[in-house]
């Protein structure tokens, strides 16, 4: 496979202008109300993308994903380092990028496609297909400043996929299209994949990354923190999101509950085992049951706690969840160290990898602790089916002489 995008030591900084406080102005004898601050949106990025791969750029808000995509697309210039591209590139970046608001849809198709490298004759040839795919023929002679955001994206995506690109860059914008159009776009992306084109996708739709990408690059604060299989990247990113959520929750609790009336109680140990005694990351075969052992430590006695357990698939979708209240299980008041065991006999999960998540709440639903990836296990299949549940269908022939 050849390298079609080569990024070396790439950095990009922006200058943010902030309003000074009155105190700052007095202390610095300054008349200006603004002060400038340098901000590195990307720092020392090294990335190689091979032809025919689909790469998802993911990460929290403001981590630099769109900036990186714009630099691959040549819209932004690097402050240090370089971006080298091999092949024709089409980009669907921020809303309206590449479109002139005062021109009509028709004029913009010609403008945009010619910027992307198509000749007038080629655009004439593709014009009807572009408009047809966009589904906005009624508005093609309207100035695009009167378009809704969905109409913009419909036309822009349609141009991008008709200019025969080797590399397609797609930012989150697809999300503003309606569901049928999004489905159509994703089908087109699949077609591009089968044709061996390269796609770089920025998205917050983590399920989409798991479904479409061969590789996921996680950005945080302008740095690449993970680069690898979507499963691993998603697991780490979700764990980071959960950690950030817990920290935010702690901070919010400090504000509403300064003396910390809310008790500290948390899971201090989780272990999984198969019915046959395999521990660590057990592999369950033939409907074998699963044991989940857990330990909770609490700083004080707590009555009426609810323990939750969930099983999630590799995309993070919870395929099963329950709690001690739903199970009508008695949880004695929490002491300082508490040990429990949950046994799931005869599980009916389909072949694949799963994770166990646990949570602890008070009876009123107040969350005390949650561990999204408390343990992992796999289920072995017998090759008779795909999917997340295991059924036992029976096939029978009703009439074989109909023809």
Ligand X SMILES: Nc1ncnc2c1ncn2[C@@H]1O[C@H](COP(=O)(O)OP(=O)(O)OP(=O)(O)O)[C@@H](O)[C@H]1O
Identify which range of 65-73, 117-125, 322-330, 388-396 contacts ligand X by CB under 6 A.
65-73
Residue 252 contacts ligand X per CB under 6 A: no
Q: How far is the CB of 131 from ligand X (least distance, A)?
A: 29
Identify which range of 59-67, 98-106, 276-284, 330-338 contacts ligand X by CB under 6 A.
59-67
Pull the structure tokens for residue 387: 């999917």
Residue 63 contacts ligand X per CB under 6 A: yes
Among 19, 29, 38, 61, binds ligand X (CB under 6 A): 61
Q: How far is the CB of 61 from ligand X (least distance, A)?
A: 3
CB-neighbour burial class of residue 186 (10 A; exposed 0-12, middle 13-18, buried 19+)? middle
Residues of this chain, 17-46, that bind ligand X according to CB under 6 A: 41
Residue 67 contacts ligand X per CB under 6 A: yes
CB 43 within 8 A of CB 9: no
Pull the structure tokens for residue 30: 């300054």
Strands 352-362 and 318-323: what pairing?
Answer: unpaired
Pick 65 or 235: Cβ nearer ligand X? 65
Q: How far is the CB of 281 from ligand X (least distance, A)?
A: 33
Pull the structure tokens for residue 99: 């479109």
Among 5, 65, 123, 185, binds ligand X (CB under 6 A): 65
Q: How far is the CB of 62 from ligand X (least distance, A)?
A: 4
Count the residues in the chain.
Answer: 403
**How many residues form the binding site for ligand X (CB under 6 A)?**
11
Half-sphere exposure at residue 397, Cβ-oriented, CA atoms within 13 angstroms: 4
Q: Phi and psi at residue 400, in whole multiples of 5°?
A: -100, 5
Residue 56 contacts ligand X per CB under 6 A: no
Residue 64 contacts ligand X per CB under 6 A: yes
Q: How far is the CB of 283 from ligand X (least distance, A)?
A: 37
CB 184 within 8 A of CB 33: no
Q: How far is the CB of 221 from ligand X (least distance, A)?
A: 9
- Provide DSSP, 190-239: HHHHHTT-EEEEE-S-HHHHHHH-SEEEEEETTEEEEEE-HHHHHHHHHH
Pick 67 or 108: Cβ nearer ligand X? 67
Residue written as token pair 């697309």: 73
The rounded distance, in Å, linking the Cα atoms of 52 and 32 is 52
Q: How far is the CB of 73 from ligand X (least distance, A)?
A: 12
Contacting positions for ligand X (CB under 6 A): 14, 16, 41, 59, 61-67
């Amino acid at each position: 496979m050849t390298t079609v995008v080569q990024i070396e030591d790439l950095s990009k900084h922006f200058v943010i202008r902030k309003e000074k406080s009155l105190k700052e102005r007095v202390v610095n004898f300054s008349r200006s109300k603004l002060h400038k601050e340098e901000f590195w949106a990307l720092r020392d990025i090294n990335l190689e993308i091979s032809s025919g791969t689909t790469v998802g750029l993911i990460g929290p808000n403001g981590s630099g994903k769109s900036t990186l995509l714009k630099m691959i697309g040549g819209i932004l210039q690097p402050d240090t380092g370089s971006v080298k591209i091999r092949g024709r590139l089409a980009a669907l970046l921020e809303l309206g990028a590449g479109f002139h608001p005062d021109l009509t849809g028709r004029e913009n198709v010609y403008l945009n496609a010619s910027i992307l490298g198509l000749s007038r004759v080629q655009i004439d040839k593709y014009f009807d297909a572009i408009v047809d795919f966009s589904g906005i023929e009624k508005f093609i002679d309207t100035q695009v400043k009167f378009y809704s955001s969905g109409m913009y994206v419909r036309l822009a995506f349609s141009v991008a996929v008709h200019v025969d690109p080797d590399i397609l860059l797609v930012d989150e914008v697809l999300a503003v299209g309606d569901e049928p159009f999004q489905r159509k776009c994703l089908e087109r992306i699949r077609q591009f994949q089968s044709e061996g084109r390269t796609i770089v996708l920025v998205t917050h739709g983590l399920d989409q990354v798991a479904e479409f990408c061969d590789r996921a690059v996680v950005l945080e604060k302008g740095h690449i923190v993970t680069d690898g299989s979507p499963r691993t990247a998603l697991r780490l990113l979700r764990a980071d999101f959960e950690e950030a959520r817990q920290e935010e929750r702690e901070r919010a609790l400090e504000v509403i509950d300064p003396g910390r009336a809310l008790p500290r109680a948390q899971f201090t140990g989780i272990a999984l085992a198969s019915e046959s005694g395999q521990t660590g990351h057990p592999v369950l075969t033939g409907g074998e049951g699963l044991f989940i052992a857990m330990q909770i430590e609490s700083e004080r006695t707590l009555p009426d706690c609810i323990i939750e357990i969930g099983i999630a698939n590799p995309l993070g979708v919870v395929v099963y969840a329950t709690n001690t209240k739903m199970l009508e299980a008695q949880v004695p008041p929490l002491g300082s160290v508490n040990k429990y065991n949950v046994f799931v006999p005869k599980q009916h999960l389909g072949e694949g990898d799963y994770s166990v998540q646990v949570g602890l709440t008070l009876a009123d639903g107040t969350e005390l602790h949650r561990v999204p990836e408390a343990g992992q296990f796999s289920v072995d299949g017998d090759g008779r089916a795909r999917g997340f549940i295991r059924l036992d269908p029976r096939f029978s022939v009703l009439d074989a002489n109909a023809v």
